[in-house]
């Protein structure tokens, strides 16, 4: 493995990209006895130079890749770029690189051991995951349900070894090293897709593509509502972000169109979505079937759209994009990150071969050499654990500060605090809540069931402030409008009537997430029974997730 000095030497060198060739010229202080042999590193041509580092070509190439070199290089045959200088690398950057490669190789090793799974996506998404769990997110592994934690949803759930690796590195008891080794095995805590009821730290169950990013809309809506309902001057109880990673498949699925258009309409500024644009599906490159401009689509939805050209290596560009996303408070943000599926694999990167099958032992070893990773299977350096622990400890400290804030809040806002404690923290119904329900008599016989439903809904609504929901543009027919509250809109997040529009599938996913947010929200959604076919997958996932979503369906006859 390259030493600290060797890595810094390579990355302090001038990088010149011309006609697709990446050339490293050593600084004067570097020994020049050896040559860098021509070859290919990470899909890019590497040209030899007379004056070079004392390392061989393989070591230089591996160090360049392993250190997350920020130089933007041009693949062979795609034109010329000007020289780009690369700054010297600090020890922190080396730790950063090791953290990212730890994520990659935990995914590679677990999928190889299971002889089943999807290694390619985690290998490309690892820098995003690293930044979220080691730098950006507020979370406490010892209390995964803390109400003001940041939320993370892996919409491309087949790449779940990314999330399991992150939970393990972050110190969640739910994912020990042995659990990673039991990936996809019967009864394990690491099934082939993330399941919220199986593994602490998983917010929602993501199976069908597009479901997760739609769930993320629901989680962000929950944050917006709770903040508007409970925050007071000097008392910001709720203030967290929802992050999601979605792939090409998620962007193609219709549900993402429904939910993301709704998110833009609502202006959910604390929703940040990463589009893992690796250009690969099971059939091959996405240009076989998918050529639209996703960024322009999301801009039309009302999102801020940012672009990172080299998500495999340019960690700082991703970092800056996250900061820019957080600075935009009135729109959700899509960060379009160009990545390489199976990044680092000499023979399977940028290919559907890296999508849904193990790399295999030989290719895994070749990938280790390519990335300069001299650790064994399931081996994680201690300094990597330490880096993630630092962020987890910061989250724990933030929760401790939050506890002090809530204690003061209880003194200043006793009634709201009591409601927050009951509904949000303890998630309990009020005593004798059912006494509000209407009492029926024989005179009520023959009354339409949707009218009975309306009576019950409007009896419950004033008693349960955590009760919220709406209809897919059928509220007058479904009889699902609450009379005691207004519409949940961009300028009125404290209200509880959701106007989902004609978006049955998106509506179901949003409501499932409201329920799974672990803040006591009791959601309902409504449509005609025949239209439930449009959201059947959301109903199925609600059952599998053990969500508390109430589905109200009316007009269940052959005539509608």
The pair of three-digit structure tokens given for residue 164, joined into one six-digit string: 């399991």
SS3 at position 151? strand
Measured from the Cβ of residue 15, the count of other Cβ atoms closer than 10 Å reads 20
Q: Which of 468, 483, 460 is nearest to 225 (CA)?
A: 468
Q: Which of 288, 362, 272 is nearest to 323 (CA)?
A: 272
Question: Which of the following is catalytic: 94, 96, 466, 504?
Answer: 504
The pair of three-digit structure tokens given for residue 98, joined into one six-digit string: 């090791």
The pair of three-digit structure tokens given for residue 145, joined into one six-digit string: 């349900």
CA 286 to CA 277: how far, in whole Å? Answer: 10
Measured from the Cβ of residue 469, the count of other Cβ atoms closer than 10 Å reads 27
The pair of three-digit structure tokens given for residue 545, joined into one six-digit string: 């997730």
CA 210 to CA 254: how far, in whole Å? Answer: 8
Cα 55–chain centre separation: 39
Label residue 5 left, alpha or beta by phi (over 0 means left) and psi (-120 to 50 means alpha): alpha
- Strands (DSSP E) along 389-506, which ranges? 467-471, 487-488, 497-499
CA 75 to CA 40: how far, in whole Å? Answer: 10
CA 550 to CA 483: how far, in whole Å? Answer: 18
Measured from the Cβ of residue 459, the count of other Cβ atoms closer than 10 Å reads 14
SS3 at position 522? strand
324 in active site? no
The H or E element spanning position 229 is helix 211-230
Contact partners, residue 542, CB within 8 Å, separation at least 6: 508, 512, 515, 549, 551
Which of the residues are catalytic? 504
């Amino acid at each position: 493995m390259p030493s600290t000095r060797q890595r810094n030497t390579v990355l302090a060198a001038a990088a010149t990209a011309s006609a697709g060739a990446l050339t490293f010229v050593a600084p004067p202080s570097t020994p020049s006895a050896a040559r860098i042999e021509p070859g290919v590193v990470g899909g890019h041509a590497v040209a030899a130079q007379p004056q070079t580092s004392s390392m061989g070509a393989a070591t230089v190439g591996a160090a360049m890749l392993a250190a997350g070199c920020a130089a933007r290089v041009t693949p062979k045959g795609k034109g010329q770029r000007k020289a780009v200088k690369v700054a010297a690398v600090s020890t922190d950057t080396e730790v950063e690189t090791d953290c990212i490669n730890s994520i990659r190789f935990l995914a590679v090793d677990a999928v190889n051991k299971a002889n089943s799974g999807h290694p390619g996506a985690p290998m490309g998404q690892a820098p995003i995951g690293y930044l979220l769990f080691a730098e950006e997110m507020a979370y406490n592994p010892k209390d995964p349900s803390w109400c003001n934690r940041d939320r993370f949803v892996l919409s491309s759930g087949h790449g779940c070894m990314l999330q399991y690796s992150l939970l393990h590195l972050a110190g969640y008891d739910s994912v020990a090293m042995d659990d990673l080794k039991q990936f996809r095995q019967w009864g394990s805590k690491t099934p082939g897709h993330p399941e919220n009821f199986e593994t602490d730290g998983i917010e929602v169950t993501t199976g069908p593509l597009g479901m997760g990013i739609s769930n993320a809309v629901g989680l962000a809506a929950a944050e917006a509502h709770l903040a508007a309902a409970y925050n007071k001057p000097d008392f910001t109880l709720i203030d967290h972000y929802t992050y999601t990673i979605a792939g090409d498949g998620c962007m193609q699925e219709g549900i993402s169109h429904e939910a993301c258009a709704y998110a833009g309409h609502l202006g959910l500024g604390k929703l940040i979505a990463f589009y893992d644009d690796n250009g690969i599906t099971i059939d091959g490159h996405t240009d076989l079937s998918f050529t639209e401009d996703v960024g322009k689509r999301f801009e039309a939805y009302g999102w801020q759209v940012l672009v990172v050209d080299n998500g495999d290596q340019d960690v700082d560009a991703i970092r800056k994009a996250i900061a820019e996303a957080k600075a935009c408070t009135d729109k959700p943000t899509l960060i379009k990150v160009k990545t390489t599926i199976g990044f680092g694999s000499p023979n399977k990167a940028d290919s559907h071969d890296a999508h849904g099958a193990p790399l295999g032992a030989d290719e895994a070893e070749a990938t280790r050499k390519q990335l300069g990773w001299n650790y064994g299977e399931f081996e994680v350096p201690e300094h990597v654990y330490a880096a993630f622990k630092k962020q987890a400890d910061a989250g724990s400290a933030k929760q401790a500060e939050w506890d002090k804030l809530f204690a003061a809040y209880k003194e200043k806002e006793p009634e709201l605090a009591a409601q927050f404690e009951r509904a949000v923290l303890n998630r309990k119904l009020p005593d004798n809540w059912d006494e509000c329900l209407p009492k029926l008599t024989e005179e009520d016989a023959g009354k339409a069931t949707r009218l009975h439903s309306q009576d019950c809904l409007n009896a419950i609504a004033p008693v349960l402030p955590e009760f919220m929901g709406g209809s897919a543009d059928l509220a007058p027919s479904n009889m699902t409008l609450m009379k005691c509250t207004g519409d949940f809109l961009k300028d009125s997040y404290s209200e509880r009537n959701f106007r989902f529009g004609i978006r049955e599938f998106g509506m179901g996913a949003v409501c499932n997430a409201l329920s799974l947010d672990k803040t006591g929200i009791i959601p309902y959604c409504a449509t005609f029974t025949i239209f439930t076919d449009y959201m059947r997958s959301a109903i199925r996932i609600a059952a599998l997730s053990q969500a508390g979503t109430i589905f109200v369906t009316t007009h269940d006859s052959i005539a509608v």
